[in-house]
Amino acid sequence: MAEFSIIDTYFNRRQNTAVDLGIGDDSALLLPPAGHQLVVCTDTLVAGRHFPLDTPAHAIGWKSVAVNLSDIAAMGATPHSILLGLSLPDAEPDWLQGFSDGLYACCDQYSVNLIGGDTTQSPHLNLTVTALGWVKNGQAVMRSGAQVDDLVVVSGSIGDAAFALQHLGHPLQKRLDYPTPRCELGALVRGLASSMIDISDGLVQDLGHILKASQVGAHIELNQLPIDPVLQALDPQVRWQYALAGGDDYELCFTISKDNYQHLLEQQPNVATTVIGRIQAETGLVFTHNGQTQALHLNGYQHFA
């Protein structure tokens, strides 16, 4: 199947009114809302590196969108559209249909348009998605605003996807294959949180980016980590490894004052949030368990391991 036949067959749906010009020309045209900044991110997924080789095409399509929308959410922004770069070994119709269905399922759930991209043949399956969103001028939530005595909060549960990767076929594999970008929560904490990041490479590594950018440290209470009962049954060192360094969670980690956190809870977010610690002036991460300091040596996902 030729490139343009692939595009017309699987990736050329009608755009909504928020897109001035989508697929079918050399570039897309968008008109940013007045008083807003454009938020842009991109992620590349490589078969065998970012997902198992036998992952269903539908799940790959969903995940390729979701991981980018998670980055948009981590800025407190509203997702708008995506661009897709797709490198395929073969133009296999059943695979393309499943992938397209998964991609559009995620797009539809979060009111996002596919507005362009590129397809080509390659020895290996590679996908690059660029996501675009909007945030009101000056309201983006960045990594550099954490303040001493802020609470450290995470959404959902952590460690599920890392556990699933080591136990393929377990019910938790849905968390690996179909991550949930926390777009609504990201918008709710805008104006309340002092800093935010999405957890893609493991909580320790990603929270570390906040601490470095904000020039602060944090105290984390291991008993407060939101962990699935399946992981809770494991040896503590094993479950902490999954929860703190496993990656692929795509939950949000943010810092927020105690008063602002109460305001957030009053808005009844659509996902549970858990206070796991507090920001401190002394740099570095301190872990405690039942009041006792724990010396943990953890590293998050390494892209060039």
**Residue 287: φ, ψ to 5°:** -110, 135
* Structure-block tokens of residue 193: 């949180």
CA contacts within 13 A on the Cβ side of 162? 27
Name residue, tokens 């980055």.
Answer: 71
Q: Is 143 flagged in the annotation as binding? A: yes
**Residue 205: φ, ψ to 5°:** -65, -45
Q: Is 50 flagged in the annotation as binding? A: yes
Q: Which helix (H) or strand (E) holds 103?
A: helix 93-109
Q: Is 160 flagged in the annotation as binding? A: no
* Structure-block tokens of residue 286: 């301190």
Beta strand spans in the chain (E): 36-46, 78-88, 113-121, 126-136, 151-155, 193-199, 217-221, 251-256, 273-280, 284-289, 292-294
Q: Is 27 flagged in the annotation as binding? A: no
C-alpha of 58 from chain center: 18
Residue 26: DSSP 8-state: S
Q: Is 26 flagged in the annotation as binding? A: yes
How far is 273 from 226, CA to CA, in rounded Å?
9
User: Which is nearest to 13 in space by CA: 107, 79, 109, 90?
Assistant: 107
User: Which is nearest to 277 in space by CA: 222, 198, 203, 216?
Assistant: 222
How far is 57 from 237, CA to CA, in rounded Å?
34
How far is 13 from 1, CA to CA, in rounded Å?
18
Q: Is 71 flagged in the annotation as binding? A: yes
How far is 29 from 296, CA to CA, in rounded Å?
49
Q: Is 198 flagged in the annotation as binding? A: yes
Q: Is 200 flagged in the annotation as binding? A: yes
Residue numbers in the known binding site for substrate are: 50, 248, 301
Residue numbers in the known binding site are: 26, 42-43, 50, 71, 117-118, 143, 198, 200-201, 248, 301
Residue numbers in the known binding site for ATP are: 117-118, 143, 200
Residue numbers in the known binding site for Mg(2+) are: 26, 42-43, 71, 118, 198, 201
